[in-house]
Chain A
């Protein structure tokens, strides 16, 4: 299971939890399983989020590998300037 840290605005959607655990070996699987296991997050993920894996911000790529030990944060959807 991968621990996913949530920004505080998302926590009310998952009973106040700061960190949730989901299965997944890629960013895409994590996002899919977050929606499946925590339906409260669906509006935010559908609207668009970014994710960071071990310090690298991943705006789009669903195929990036994730390990159980990875540091993973959900971030507001990022865009270029």
Chain B
């Protein structure tokens, strides 16, 4: 796509107006997934496997169907056969076939006239299981004697002789590791593990489905991407794509976990069978047991460094489990593990492993935080061993424009050095620490995303502008979109309204994922606005009787482009709009593309902690996020993304983990036991926005949503190491684990 290069001077971009959805959300008017209802609507409930791994011998729903108020029961027999690849994986995950593959796997579902009746009916469904051996740990799942989750799931990449649970294998790198390590003054080799963490969105999955026997239907749901929902549901149910219209609700958090489906195809299948609309709402326990957390990881890292602080070589082996299906994000882990640094000799090996856990889903920078935890921890040990400053050392090795990435290509303009310099200059970095306190530094990267995008702008008859986009607003993006439209048209922010269109109203849009919404939908809005302003200029030219090339658009007005164009008073957008019905009809602009110019974003975090030597509890004292946003369209929401990433990273590092019992069942499927950080656990997260413009966006935007969760895991672990003098290699750093480390030290 030919672009003119990032614009530098702005009137509206960079301001901080109120978000358009703010009032509705704080007054309770906003409608989330569970708020939607229809006349004649039934309520659904899902029966889930109590076993981690079991053959389903028989399902008998006779008694459930006899219960008054029950209108339909569905099992896998109600879904079409013959699917392949990821379509089959999704179908198998939303409703078990021959085997239940994890604790919480759906085996049947009921639709009834009330939720209570539906739940009672679940108890009447008789399922006969043959319990099988299970495995939930990634290393144990690769062992020779591990139970096989599914034969034949491995792809071409897996070398012969590996356990069938290893379904993908990857290897990448360059240079001569032996030579590189020989050049080092210090070589450190360590192993690390991280546990699965859930995205922890506050709003559980919810939907209302209405599907007729003719294959035409509607679905209202909370999702990050309703075209993805449409594609997945129609594939799983054997429907024609455009016959299902999907409308997204407001969304109470997603973080990647709502880019796929869990209950929507089940609700549609129930609706089709019952002939009535069906509402399904997950409980928190269902969310934790049966939606997708991120993968857990086991990693071996080796890095070498000279006494001057130059990294000479690095290698990493990354084993990740993503549940009972292929798809752990180990490919990204291997790509990005050492991506911050200019390393001549580097090698990565990755294993995607299946276990008896729920199918993992994307979670904010999927795969990157785990790798960063391991590699940035080893880098910290190298700095300690050689007596080097962690920021100076990172600056010595940091990638910049033209540096060959550890995954191959040369970097375009990037801002890692700028984030390190800002972190070094920030007051937090020079605060004097007290007893039992420690400071940690880490950097991280996410490459961001473009994705299929479609947007429209339409001029109202009073000159206000309606913007229609297909990326769900999770973090205030409607405000950012309105600012970009306001800038492109030269009209006030308040004169723009942004709506999220349903799947019947726009071309395909990928979800709000990959930190792409402000980049990609923003680019589409700018281009659509430019198309509309060209039409506005044409109307002015027609009125003035001059060539359209002699008209320019400036500050919300059509103007003659120079003295030779003639003497005409500017025509405002409102004046042109008022006459558009009689001057050629409605004026609108559209843009569709899959933009490739997304620029990656680097960040650097500095965190101070205090560890209670009596209890092992870690308290975050200060937290600084410095990150490259390219251009911050709405700085408050950029800062919010930085803070949100840091907070989720704090939870993943200190508390959050999936705990499985010997029976393979999840032991902590509620928020009382799966502990996410709350406001009282946290200090104010300080932020610094770095702006190195992305040449691939008209205004220089880079996505900012995901990079922020990459550095927290190692930054906090490095701070705890600084505080207690012991390197913690297993996340989360729960008080019992930290206390045990302190006692072992003493």
Contact = CB atoms under 8 A, between A and B. Distances in A.
Interface of A: 5, 7-9, 43-44, 47, 52, 54-61, 64, 71, 73, 75-81
B291 interface: no
A78 B332 contact: yes
B450 A73 contact: no
B513 A56 contact: no
B410 A55 contact: yes
B365 A81 contact: yes
B689 interface: no
B172 A7 contact: yes
B594 A80 contact: no
A55 B412 contact: yes
A73 B173 CA distance: 12
B178 to A, nearest CB: 15
Given A56-B696, A76-B331, A9 B170 contact: yes
Contact of B411 (A55, A60, A79, A80): A55
23 contacts: A7-B172, A43-B156, A44-B157, A47-B156, A54-B409, A56-B696, A57-B409, A57-B447, A59-B596, A64-B596, A71-B409, A73-B408, A75-B335, A75-B407, A75-B408, A76-B170, A76-B334, A78-B447, A79-B366, A80-B514, A81-B256, A81-B366, A81-B514
Interface of B: 155-157, 169-174, 256, 259, 331-332, 334-335, 347, 362-366, 407-412, 446-447, 449-452, 510-511, 513-516, 594, 596-598, 696, 706
B474 to A, nearest CB: 13
Contacts of B447: 57, 78
A12 B588 CA distance: 53
Contacts, number: 97
A80 B408 contact: no
A9 B155 contact: no
B157 A9 contact: yes
A49 B332 CA distance: 12
Nearest to B407: A75
B743 to A, nearest CB: 38
A26 to B, nearest CB: 13
Contacts of B446: 81
Contact of B596 (A8, A43, A61): A61
Contact of A79 (B169, B364, B514, B597): B514
The DSSP consensus for interface residues of chain B is loop
Nearest to B403: A55
Report, nearest first, the 3 A-B pairs whose CB atoms are least far apart.
A80-B514, A43-B156, A73-B408
B366 A55 contact: no
Given A8-B174, A55-B409, A80-B516, 10 more contacts: A55-B411, A59-B449, A60-B452, A75-B407, A78-B331, A79-B332, A80-B514, A81-B256, A81-B362, A81-B446
A56 B596 contact: yes
A7 B411 contact: no
Contacts of A43: 155-156
A48 to B, nearest CB: 10
Contacts of B362: 79-81
A16 B170 CA distance: 15
Contacts of A80: 259, 362, 449, 451, 510-511, 513-516
B171 A76 contact: no
B156 A76 contact: no
Contacts of B364: 81
B256 A73 contact: no
- Identify the interface centre among A5, A79, A80: most chain B CB within 10 Å of its CB: A80
B429 to A, nearest CB: 29
Contacts of B596: 56-59, 61, 64
Nearest to B514: A80
A9 B447 CA distance: 21
A73 B366 contact: no
Contacts of A60: 452, 594
A7 B408 contact: yes
